[in-house]
Amino acid sequence: MEAWTRSAMMVGLNLLLMTGGLAFADSAEAQLARERTEREWAVKLEKLETTLQPLMEKHGVDMWIIYTRENDPDPLIQLFGDYINTASGHRNTYIFFNPGDGRPLERIALGTHIRGHVLPFFPDTPAYGHGYGEEGLAPHLRRYVHERDPQVIAINRSRTITMVDGLSLEGYTYLVEALGPAYEARFVSAEPLAIDYIAHRTPAELEISLEASWITWNLLRRAFSNEVITPGVTTNEDVMFWLIDQVQKQQLELNFAPSVTIRRQGVQGSFSVHHAEVIRPGDMLHTDFGIKLMGIGTDQQKQTYVLRPGETEPPAGLQALFTQSVRMAEIVAEELKPGVLGRDVKARAEARGREEGITNLVYSHAQGSWVHDAGAWAIHDWPERYGNHPREPVRPTEFWSVEFSVTGEIPEWGGQTFTMGREEDGWVGAEGTFHWMAGPQKELWTVRSH
């Protein structure tokens, strides 16, 4: 046996011994991974089976075609049984067809590598025969669609809603060549259908979102305490990597790149994680952090003050500004009502805040499947930047991120202007009332200095 082979075998043996070897398959970690995976796909499947067909009828869509290629997945495929990292199959179509007359929705996947979690989402696949060889996908797709002759075919094309714009130029051309120009004339954007589908949250999705929100809250409460922070020693970068480590240990996913920033008396702007800075007494700490759990994401921002030696509470100016932020959160939540356009939520909430003497800026958004989700955003009506999101209405059961800032002068900091960012998870109830998930933060957190 060559030396390098013996060395490799020894390394592998040592790794097995250190990690408990193959016993991991029966470990608590493996069991948690199994339970979460099975629960995620069960929740998504239940939503498909109870929600999609009525929405297709509402929007007058006979057929919805989702097209993917290997390493070029459609963003929406993660909602229907496949993984977003590569997407299965060399060239696949995932098709929903409503035959009408009260008959059940047909769900079929045409392509290769149709297996695993995909099959329950597309149970009609085996009966039709889904594989192809040298002839490619086109003849199978053509036959299936022509036999059913749908009059309205939704495809994932959208100028402004990114997660409903997964069909590439190649994909569009392929569909047209496979189906013919007569069927191209029947194509419509899946945008309104997809937004309604995503925004319609089921009780099972809400359970996951509540769980994810409380996990996020508890991680942040620990991160911004003396458990993690020792003033004069710990950096903002240390806190960020502690959060990342906890995400990995708890078998979670990051919903986006986290940030931990420092605001300091006498310093304009902030110290971000791009500049590892030691946390000092008197600093204000801000974080923007979210996780993803079983396909549902969170998005929270918290504020923490580092007490100076001898201090028992934050300076009155910072506390007063935080109190304004608590009130502003209530105002935004009160304006999140079904049917109100995102841009109008922003305008109304900001106006009410100003009437109460709060200098504010609102930039809230739907969340859940994506950190900035498919529905309404309470943000500037700038089509070239935010697309149609500000013109979308708030929808019942939609998950929301109440995001905004308040600005004021801090007397104890020599009148320095301070902008305080806040963000909390919540949802619009089916009855039209806004509800918080974890939180919201109503007290300015503190870290002691030793």
What is the CATH T-level fold of the domain 201-447, as seen in this structure? Creatine Amidinohydrolase (3.90.230)
**Locus of tokens 């059913």:** 148
Cα atoms in the 13 Å half-sphere on the side-chain side of 74: 30
Overall CATH class of domain 43-197? alpha beta
> Per residue in 196-239, pLDDT tens?
999 999 999 999 999 999 999 999 999 999 999 999 999 999 99
Quote the radius of gyration of the chain (alpha carbons, Å): 25
Question: Which residues of the chain form CATH 3.90.230.10?
Answer: 201-447
Give the residues of the chain that fall short of pLDDT 50.
Answer: 1-13, 15-18
Report yes or no: 128 and 119 within 8 Å, Cβ to Cβ.
Answer: no
Query: What CA–CA distance (Å, rounded) separates 330 from 435?
Result: 11
Query: How crowded is residue 136: how many other Cβ atoms within 10 Å of its Cβ?
Result: 13
* pLDDT, position 140: 95
Main-chain dihedrals φ then ψ at residue 407, nearest 5 degrees: -130, 140
pLDDT tens-digit map of 321-364? 999 999 999 999 999 999 999 999 999 999 999 999 999 999 99
- pLDDT, position 8: 46
Q: What per-residue confidence (pLDDT) applies to 285?
A: 98
Contact 427, 368 (CB under 8 A): no
* CATH 3.40.350.10, the chain: domain bounds: 43-197
**DSSP assignment string, 40-55:** HHHHHHHHHHHHHHHH
Give the contacts of 164 (CB within 8 A, at least 6 positions apart).
Answer: 75, 76, 156, 157, 158, 189, 190, 191, 194, 195, 374
Q: For the chain, give me the number of helices (H) and strands (E)?
A: 13, 18
Long-range contacts of 261-264 (CB under 8 A, 24+ apart): 261/236, 261/285, 261/286, 261/287, 262/236, 262/286, 263/418
* 424/271 Cα distance (integer angstroms): 23
Q: What is the pTM of this model?
A: 0.91
Evaluate the CA torsion angle 33, 34, 35, 37 in order and state its sign.
positive
